[in-house]
Chain A
Amino acid sequence: MVNVLYFYAMIMSIVLIYIIGDISKILRNILAIFIFLYSLVSTVFVNEAGFTINVMKSMNLNMSFSYSGIGTFFVILNHIAFGVILINILNNINKKRDNGFLFNIFLIFYLTTLLFMSSNLFTFFIMWEFISILIYFNIGIFDKKENSGLKYILMNALGGMSLLLAMAMIFNFTGTLDFERLSSLYYLIPRSQAIVIILLFTFAMLIKSAFWGLHTWVKDAYMRSNTCFTAYMSSVLSKIGIFGLILLFYKIFPYDYVIQIFTFYNIQFFRIFFTIGGSITAILATIMAIKEQNVKAILTYSSIAQVGYIIASFGLGYRWSIISIMTITTVHLLIKTSLFSDLSFIEYKTGQTDGVELGGLIKVIPFTFVSTLISIIALAGIVPLMGFAAKWIYFENMFISGHYIALIISFLASTLAFLYCYKILSIVFLGIINEKNSSINYFSSLGDSIVTIVNMIIPIALVIFGFYPYPFFRFMFEKISKILPSANVFLSGNFIESSIGYWNPLNIATIVVIIFVSMFIIFVLLMRKPRKVSQYDIAMSAEPVRSHNNLHYVMNFYDGFLEVVKPITSKSSKRFYGKIYGFIEDIGDVLRKLHLNSLTSKNILTGIIIIVLIIVIWSAV
């Protein structure tokens, strides 16, 4: 159950993992699984009131945790993702020094659970900061140059400062940081101050979520980390920013109030910013993903793109925003957990994530291919898997809320996503197998078999909830019922409906399955059996193909497309920030010159002061 015991027991146990890891690997693994199950049972299966830990009594600051509503939903998602990732980690790590990594990620998981359970802003901030520092340590382990870790911590420190400032302002006007009380005291904050608070808070959350322009830390941090940790960052940690925004717009300030204070000249800037900004994030990240040939980099940009859809969903309007945010968040979390876990397994087996070195792995790791294939289909949003439900809700409501330009941009981004989705499958699993990888032993240990089975859980869930999503939606509506009491009108029998259309997932899935099975029987079972040929037995200008022929098509995969989007891909946020930095340096240079103890600079300064004085006096007269 969620109480003070859970708070302390988890810390002690995680420390124990680190200590036992030095003694026995098996004991460490068993303990890690046991602790995870303890957390799962405590937070997911037992519904209990929260607890409070006094920090600064005199200032009325408490670390307070509760277990209800939307936070619960995120806690459950956190456990699902971490459960799968943990099994992969335990299989992948062998050396004693990896204990530190396991200790770190376990601690991050635990603090993230607490963050989602925080019932006041102070707790949220403390957890946020701890997590940021721990992530920095984790990235530092794998990145010896420490550039990516530094980049990460600098950007997040900027976010942390904004959050702290916003928090201080809220406390100044309301005298509380408790979410429940804030929802009824927000009106005490003057409008102009409320605008500043929202901007600061949003800025902090957008850095964490990797909004385009604030994403400069993401690629390095994701690429240089252990792939299992990247899985956790992409699936769960990127959602901390989203969770923070939900708190801001649904718990601290009412959604409609935020729209109202950001409406100038009858234009709702809040909604425009989120829908357009989110869509642009989605499309630019998608284009960058298409350009990459390292699978980890492709998935990194894909992750930014998916978060773009979630951010855009904030502009859809009170009711549909939260439904769209929660659905896309869930789907993205599941898909990215699955894809990165599969990738970590591939990396474990081949030592590579670069597409140039991979290819043809379907022959040696077929179940991992199936798992990746299903997740990719869901990621692309193709009917009838669960990814489509998220896309449908998003597009329909983008249309209903009248954001047509954002709809077009998002739709194009979604179509472009097919390009990198296919690229992943093609360069990793299909085509000619690399000679180095042809001797891979799929199930070389018990751990490999367990990982393969565990990695199939999420894809199977994506299929089941694609065919029959109703239990998922009912569960989600129950969890968001405090924010949105009437969400279940969105389901009507087996139909999912909006004001402009509806569809029946079960009906569509049934059609697809019946046709697929019929065609399979006719084509594969009843028609003449084919003759299997070797991978080099292909039609190539009548020339016999040998293993030395480079047939693995990876380079210039979408060269025609990339030629067109070169003006976009050649631009870099780093260069943009570099220019700003250069501009500030130039101003600094001018000021420095003015402060030089030379006669010329003094003359210039005196001249400027005289001119300013003349202007002031003249305008006063």
Chain B
Amino acid sequence: MNIVWTVLGIIGVYIYGVFLMGLGRKISARVQLRYGPPVYQNYIDILKLWTKKTNISHGIMFDLGPVFLLTGSIGTLLLIPIAATEQLMYFGFSGDIIVIMYLMVFGSLGFALAASQGANPFGIMGISRALTLLAAYELPFILGIVILMMDANSASLSNIISHQAGGYMNWYIFKQPLAAIPAFIALLGMMGKQPFDIPIAPQEIATGPMAEFGGKYLGMMMSSHAIFMTAKYILFVNLFLGGAGNPINMIFKVFLIWLFPLFVGLVYPRFKTSQAVRFFWGVPSLIGLIGLIIHWLR
């Protein structure tokens, strides 16, 4: 029965993730005074890519890249409780946030290797930018996480969630704003939307890592992105918005957080790589550091 719920959970997150991607395109278009594609356009795109006759491969790592990527995305999702119901707390896992953070890299590394085997310099350039961005936003993110760990005196995600029980004022977004601010700014980098869409930068490096991918490869990558993106939002809901008692609650909270990078991206133009690193290691990290010191002194 657990397996059935697990598969249903993954499919649910996938469908919701693709929906958000489509909705994002629509909202962006409306803000830019365009009509935009229909909300369901991404479902059609993925279906089209999966069924495409022509697929081009550059070698074994190129083939395995999307498999790594999807494994990392689904694996991450399975370690994050979707809702506080028995069925959606997969594997009864109440382990460690550090495990989740390191599993999140699994898929990205595989994808990076695939892009490298594509032999397109734009792809490698994009990956080098993506990894630089990862190093940049990881600092404010880990500062936020450490403050939460200090408050809950635990690295367990379920313990961090249970510390936020008893009303929304107990959510860490309100209880620990000096942890939430750097972490939410780091979220902008994690999502890779403007102003931090440096790795793909279509006008500069021809979509970077994706340059060589088409057909089923691109379809898999879009699917993985949908799951991974939603998993990260779910993680943030668990960390800062007190988790969710049921799936509906989670859908709503994820939607709220999802709007944040979307709207920021619509307003700001793209940073340069060095500007992005300076930005993340600047004010957000400083806020996190102040939060850490204040919490420490308490």
Residues of A within 8 A of B (CB): 360, 362-363, 366, 373, 377, 380-384, 388, 391-392, 395-396, 399, 404, 407-408, 411-412, 415-416, 418-419, 421-423, 425-426, 430-432, 498, 500-504, 507-508, 511-512, 515-516, 519-520, 523-524, 527-533, 535-541, 551, 553, 557-561, 563-564
Contact = CB atoms under 8 A, between A and B. Distances in A.
B57 A564 contact: no
A432 B155 CA distance: 43
A530 B57 contact: yes
A180 B174 CA distance: 56
Which of B97, B153, B277 has the most C-beta atoms of chain A within 10 angstroms of its own C-beta? B277
Is the contact region of chain B dominated by helix, strand, or loop, or is it mixed? helix
B117 A532 contact: no
A425 B111 CA distance: 13
Given A408-B139, A502-B95, A558-B128, 8 more contacts: A360-B119, A373-B113, A377-B109, A412-B138, A425-B116, A503-B96, A508-B79, A515-B70
A411 B155 CA distance: 14
A561 B274 CA distance: 6
A561 B63 contact: no
Interface in B61-77: 61, 63-64, 66-68, 70-71, 74-75
A418 B109 contact: yes
B154 A500 contact: yes
B67 A524 contact: yes
Interface size class of B (residues with CB under 8 A): 35 or more
Interface string B153-165: 1111000000000
B55 A528 contact: yes
A564 B274 contact: yes
Contacts of A432: 119
Contacts of A528: 52-53, 55, 215-216
A423 B124 CA distance: 10
A523 B66 contact: yes
Interface of B: 50, 52-61, 63-64, 66-68, 70-71, 74-75, 78-79, 91, 93, 95-99, 102-103, 105-106, 109, 112-113, 116-122, 124-125, 127-129, 131-132, 134-135, 138-139, 142-143, 146, 149-150, 153-156, 198, 206, 211-212, 215-217, 220, 272-274, 276-278, 281, 292, 296
A411 B71 CA distance: 24
A557 B116 CA distance: 13
Contacts of A381: 102
8 contacts: A418-B134, A431-B117, A502-B156, A523-B66, A528-B215, A530-B215, A532-B59, A564-B278
B56 A531 contact: yes
B135 A415 contact: yes
Given A508-B99, A520-B67, A418 B135 contact: yes
Contacts of B63: 523-524, 530
Contact of A501 (B96, B106, B142): B96
B135 A561 contact: yes
A502 B96 contact: yes
Contacts of B131: 418-419, 422, 558
A512 to B, nearest CB: 5
A539 B272 CA distance: 24
A533 B55 CA distance: 10
A535 B150 contact: no
B70 A392 contact: no
A388 B71 CA distance: 17
A117 B6 CA distance: 53
Contact of B95 (A363, A384, A395, A503): A503
Contacts of B97: 501
Contact of A551 (B119, B138, B216): B119
A416 B97 CA distance: 19
B201 to A, nearest CB: 12
Contacts of A395: 98
Task: Give the 9 A-B CB pairs with smallest separation, nearest first.
Answer: A560-B273, A430-B116, A501-B155, A530-B57, A530-B55, A501-B96, A503-B95, A415-B138, A561-B132
Contacts of A538: 58, 118-120, 211-212
A399 B53 contact: no
Given A501-B154, A533-B56, A539-B120, A426 B216 contact: no
Contacts of B93: 507
Nearest to B59: A362
B98 A396 contact: yes
